[in-house]
Amino acid sequence: MQGKILSPQLISGDDGKRYEYDKNDVINLDGKDLAMLTGSQVEFLSFDKRVAKSIYIIAENLHVSSILSADSIRSARLKALCGIGLLIFSFILFFNFIIRYIVPIIAIVSFVLYSMAIYSVSKAAASKSLFKNYIKAVIISFFVFFIYFMLAPSGAPSTSGFIAMELLGAMIILIAAIYLYEIHYELARLSGSSLFLWSFWIYVVSVPFCLLFIIFLGFAFFFFLPGFGGLIMSWMLLFVAWWRFGKVEKR
């Protein structure tokens, strides 16, 4: 008999009936997430009016919505790769003064996709700390942005207000770095790839140079290359790390 997958537990048969099933009865699942295969055509046997057995997927029907909503490593990897790719793309567009107005939109989409990827890994690995640490890092990073771009006092770098802002920003960056390390360490542990940690360390070294570039524009070239060049290298390593993330390593 043929039918269509309605959910990870239910198949709609061509006879108009609905059949429950277990994913272990899907012969050619090959590690795919059933949540991503909603709508796919299947063939199956039924020795009971309500249970499907010996299920074989004959036509996959992958939808963007099902991929984004699935909490699996495969889905998380796709969302992370798209998010990082859009982040790099938005960085490149930022230097094009004609179309740089769309950069915030792309950056927001990138952030949402990457956040969904972290959440999916957290669910797939049953981690109680990964997504929580990510949210904390995001909130703290927002405060850093607020301090440097909203509350930055005008005047010479030698003023007391400027020094106080720098010290406060440095303290908050340090706290954010601790959470970022925890995130990348757990991703490295779950994936078995040290590239997540390499990406983190390069990122940590690059961020201060980026901030110095923004503050001391007179030293633009000196701070630009190790700052934004390091960011690109960090994101590329992160892209490769996610690309290799195939399954959760058991420890």
Q: Which of 171, 105, 184 is nearest to 143 (CA)?
A: 171
Contact between 55 and 44 (Cβ < 8 Å):
yes
CA distances (Å), 160 to each of 164, 167, 173, 212, in order? 6, 11, 20, 18
Identify whether residues 111 and 6 lie together within a single domain.
no
Which domain covers residue 50, as residue numbers? 2-64
Instruction: Supply 131's token pair.
Output: 């997504």
Contact between 215 and 222 (Cβ < 8 Å):
no
Q: How far apart are CA 145 and CA 212, in angstroms?
A: 14
Identify whether residues 56 and 98 lie together within a single domain.
no
Name, in order, each residue with C-beta under 8 angstroms of 42's C-beta and a sequence gap of 6 or more: 2, 3, 4, 5, 11, 26, 52, 55, 56, 57, 58
**What's the rounded mean pLDDT across residues 114-133?**
89
The predicted pLDDT at position 155 comes to: 46
CATH number for the domain that contains residue 26: 2.40.50
Identify whether residues 98 and 57 lie together within a single domain.
no
Identify whether residues 60 and 75 lie together within a single domain.
no
Identify whether residues 46 and 107 lie together within a single domain.
no
pLDDT digits (tens, 9 = 90+) for 198-210: 999 998 888 777 7
Contact between 85 and 91 (Cβ < 8 Å):
no
The number of folded domains in the chain is: 2
Q: How far apart are CA 78 and CA 159, in angstroms?
A: 47
Identify whether residues 123 and 208 lie together within a single domain.
yes
Last residue of a domain, one of 64, 89, 111: 64
- Average pLDDT, whole number, for the chain? 79
**Bridge partner residues of 13 (DSSP):** 3
* Exposure on the CB side of residue 204, measured as CA atoms within 13 A: 16
Is 248 inside a domain boundary?
A: no
Instruction: Supply 143's token pair.
Output: 């405060």
Q: Lowest-confidence range among 6-10, 157-161, 178-182, 203-207? A: 157-161
- Is the Cα torsion angle 134, 203, 74, 186 positive or negative in sign? negative
Identify whether residues 33 and 80 lie together within a single domain.
no
How many angstroms separate the first and last alpha carbons of the chain? 41
**Bridge partner residues of 41 (DSSP):** 4, 59
Is 249 inside a domain boundary?
A: no
Is 251 inside a domain boundary?
A: no
Whether the model clears a pTM of 0.85, i.e. scores above it, the answer is no
Q: How far apart are CA 147 and CA 154, in angstroms?
A: 13
Identify whether residues 34 and 109 lie together within a single domain.
no
The predicted pLDDT at position 101 comes to: 75
Comparison of pLDDT for 50 and 196, the residue scoring more? 196
Q: How far apart are CA 43 and CA 26, in angstroms?
A: 10
Identify whether residues 118 and 40 lie together within a single domain.
no
The predicted pLDDT at position 115 comes to: 93
Q: How far apart are CA 189 and CA 183, in angstroms?
A: 10
Radius of gyration of the chain (CA): 23
**What's the rounded mean pLDDT across residues 178-204?**
92
